[in-house]
Amino acid sequence: MKRSSIAGQERFIFLVLFVLGVFTVVGQTSQTALQKDISEKVTALLLKMTLEEKIGQMNQYNGFYNVTGPAPKDGDAARKYDLLRKGYVGSMLNVRGVENVRAVQKIAVEESRLGIPLIIGFDVIHGYKTIAPIPLAEAASWDMDAIQKSSEIAAAEAAASGINWTFAPMVDISRDARWGRVMEGAGEDPFLGSDIAAARVRGFQGDDLSDPLTIAACAKHWAAYGFAEAGRDYNRSDVGTSTLFNVVFPPFQAAKEAGVKTFMNSFNTLNGIPATGDQFLQREILKDKWGFDGFVVSDWGSIREMIAHGFAKDGKEAARKAVIAGSDMDMESDLYVTKLAMLVQEGKVDESLITDAARRILTVKYELGLFDDPYRYCDETREKEIIYKEEYQDVVLDMARKSIVLLKNENNLLPLKKSGQKIALIGALAADKSSPLGGWRIASDDGTAVSVKEGMEAYTGNSLMYAKGADVVIGDATFIRELTINETDTTAFAKAVFTAKNADVVVMVLGEHGYMSGEGRSRAQLDLPGVQQELLEAVYAVNKNIVLVLNNGRPLAIDWAAEHIPSIVEGWQLGSQAGNAIAEVLYGDYNPSGKLPMSFPRSVGQVPIYYNHKSTGRPEDAGDNLVFWSHYGDESNDPLYVFGHGLSYTTFGYDTLKVEANENGANVTVWVSNGGDVTGKEVVQLYIQDPFASVTRPVRELKGYELITLEPNERKKITFKLTGKELGFYDNQGNWLVEPGDYNIFVGSSSATKLKGSFVLAE
Ligand code: NOJ
């Protein structure tokens, strides 16, 4: 009986596998047929195009006039309008809304000779109208399904608004919290960063690019932009080959393997060559070695910026160097459209490079379905239905909950009791309905985030008293203008201190305004900006029962708070539903499970600080208090909060770590148990160390993780399989090596776990 039912099951499984196999083969075949069809159409179209029209495809302009009004007659806008009509504009960015997109598309399609549609780009970084947590926060969830879903709804809203290409994901690894753009990325780790890169690409692009609710993605900024010297944006990067191949490149390669359609190059020089003019990056690695067949767009004006870098003497030389290096589309430098034809005629640029770039761009346009229907993304009814769709709020709420990291919770001050307490809520950010939307949210509407105050007000069992304490910024905070931080005004302190004095618990929401991170927003200090530290200490002097909720777009150096404040919640900038997610965590309706994707320094002087660093020849104090080892005399080497750190309202135990070597690597098993009395989620993390290698390897490297949920007292066995894929590394020539010998394994709750095993990989 049993046997036959197993045989039945086997037959069923076989049948399912067979059907799946057939579908996959059929799917692949139809995919190849589609590609062939597109390739033939592109070839035929290219034959009809003049040199200038091909160059036109490589030209991208910002939205240059009120597109639905009459065309301007004079000036630069009139000239650009004219170029659009001639078919010399291939793409526009920052035109949004169906009406506006339709207007520019109409000119391209109806007025230009060949009627080639535009591809419309926009920075959809963490949502379009409905705003998800900033990407760094989402990375703290370690939850790829949630991240994919978040990108999916961002794509749907943007696509419904006429956009068909996002300049995301930003997959730059960064170890420097001073760099404002860490908010856009996945943090410091290439393994986690690679998974997130792929999840975002899948989310934006879906399975079918021609679906009007998906958009083309763009892996940016290629490359090493996250290593801008001293964390100052647009600065140069000097990065050695080992770091380049093993840390900088992997998330880009993961995006490429996930099928990303475009790459954006970067503003920085890399080892003396502007990325935009770098043949090694764009041709050798990306297009030749990895076989990337999409197109590369320059960053905004980055072709022209090669002059300021000291790499090209004028615009003409900049255009020549960029196109030879493999930059296919010129974003706003206005140099391809003005210089390339001349360069070809003078024999300084081979026309085949132009044809290749145009081919790549046209292919993506075909894949988006723009040739079948240039107005595919322009449907007013769909726009109305999709923008601010109710269910998207659930998606971003879910994402926001999962992004919160409980950094510290002494004496179980959290979760808060739901009734009978007097709670003081302090901080200008607590009542802010725009700052939680974070940076890079150009299409969003100010004032649409749920504030922490609103989130907490939904819990009516306690009395909630609010006091601002101090402004973080003075005046309006805008995306493009420098902010004025409140460095002096403490007049509202007195009320906050009075409110705190009479409370059982004080919740303080402090940190950075949403526009303090993002492009051009580097900081030399990583403390609580302005007078907020003073405010925190003033409140602490009258009531020590403080829950500090951080709002920030980067790791902060909050050593005083870490020492004195009993509970600290990392609440980032969590988007439209920020306040609800934070309130749920504060009140225990959601048990936090986020883990830091970036180390928190103790002080700015430690930066760059990251867990996967190399050893030194003198890594440790020999115990005799001598000075000659790798350390600071005035600060510890360790971060304040390590990569992978994050607490829960329950506690997780790890035991019985087993590491069994096999031919290809090892099997690692560990038991994880929930020792508390509430259900909790844990990110089980596995790190490896290759202690002796032909090129030195980091002291630890994340190579596996699993998100699990455990009921109280539940135990679960977790298995990781390590193969050459996890154990190998790139040498300084970019060759992949898997070296036999000793490996150490660390498994646990964070990158600081002490649970250790080891194995030997046989020759
Ligand atoms: C410059 C930024 O570096 C890039 O990330 C962005 O996509 C473009 N501007 C377009 O807005």
Query: Which pLDDT tens digit goes with each residue over 550-568?
Result: 999 999 999 999 999 999 9
Residues linked to residue 715 through DSSP beta bridges, in sequence order: 673
Segment 269-287, tens digit of pLDDT: 999 999 999 999 999 999 9
* Residue nearest atom 8 in ligand 1 by C-alpha distance: 300
Per-residue pLDDT at 15: 52
Active site residue 74: no
Tell me: pLDDT of 199 over 50.
yes
Query: What share of the chain has pLDDT > 70, as a percent?
Result: 96
What is the average pLDDT across 707-711?
A: 98
What is the average pLDDT across 663-688?
A: 98
Cα-to-centroid distance, 267 and ligand 1 (Å): 10
Sign of the torsion angle spanned by Cα atoms 222, 228, 233, 236: negative
Residue 250: HSE in the Cβ half-sphere, 13 Å Cα cutoff = 23
Tell me: pLDDT of 25 over 70.
no
* Residue nearest atom 1 in ligand 1 by C-alpha distance: 300
Q: Which of 126, 104, 225, 205 is nearest to 159 (CA)?
A: 205
Query: Binning pLDDT at 50, 70 and 90, where does residue 3 land?
Result: very low
Give backbone dihedrals phi and psi of 181, rounded to 5 degrees, phi first.
-85, 5
Per-residue pLDDT at 27: 60
In three-state form (DSSP H/G/I as H, E/B as E, the rest C), the secondary structure along 166-214 is ECCCECCCCCCCCCHHHHHCCCCCHHHHHHHHHHHHHHHHCCCCCCCCC
Q: Which of 369, 372, 326, 374 is nearest to 350 (CA)?
A: 326
Task: Report the pocket of ligand 1 as residue ranges, CB < 6 Å.
Answer: 93, 123, 167, 220, 299-300, 519
Tell me: pLDDT of 620 over 70.
yes
Q: Which of 123, 143, 299, 334 is catalytic?
A: 299
Per-residue pLDDT at 26: 57
Can you tell me the distance from the alpha carbon of 220 to that of 224, in angstroms, rounded to the nearest whole number? 10
Mean pLDDT of the chain: 96
Query: What share of the chain has pLDDT > 90, as a percent?
Result: 93
Cα-to-centroid distance, 330 and ligand 1 (Å): 12
Query: Binning pLDDT at 50, 70 and 90, where does residue 7 land?
Result: very low
What is the average pLDDT across 14-33?
A: 60
Per-residue pLDDT at 21: 53
Return all residues near 7 (Cβ < 8 A) that are at least 6 apart: none
Cα-to-centroid distance, 358 and ligand 1 (Å): 22
Segment 337-384, tens digit of pLDDT: 999 999 999 999 999 999 999 999 999 999 999 999 999 999 999 999
Cα-to-centroid distance, 165 and ligand 1 (Å): 13
Can you tell me the distance from the alpha carbon of 555 to that of 565, in angstroms, rounded to the nearest whole number? 17
* Residue nearest atom 3 in ligand 1 by C-alpha distance: 299
Three-state SS at 91: strand
Whether 536 and 559 have beta carbons less than 8 Å apart is answered as: no
Tell me: pLDDT of 472 over 50.
yes
Which is the closest atom of ligand 1 to the Cα of 218? 7
What is the average pLDDT across 697-715?
A: 98
Can you tell me the distance from the alpha carbon of 670 to that of 735, in angstroms, rounded to the nearest whole number? 33
Per-residue pLDDT at 13: 47
* Residue nearest atom 11 in ligand 1 by C-alpha distance: 123
Return all residues near 468 (Cβ < 8 A) that are at least 6 apart: 426, 427, 428, 431, 492, 495, 496
- Read off the pTM: 0.96
What is the average pLDDT across 641-662?
A: 98
Tell me: pLDDT of 66 over 90.
no
Amino acid at 39: S
DSSP state of 21: H
Domains, the chain, in order of start with CATH, read 392-606 (3.40.50.1700), 652-761 (2.60.40.10)
Whether 644 and 685 have beta carbons less than 8 Å apart is answered as: yes
Which is the closest atom of ligand 1 to the Cα of 220? 5
Residue among 62, 179, 331 to mutate when testing ligand 1 (max atoms within 8 A of CB): 331
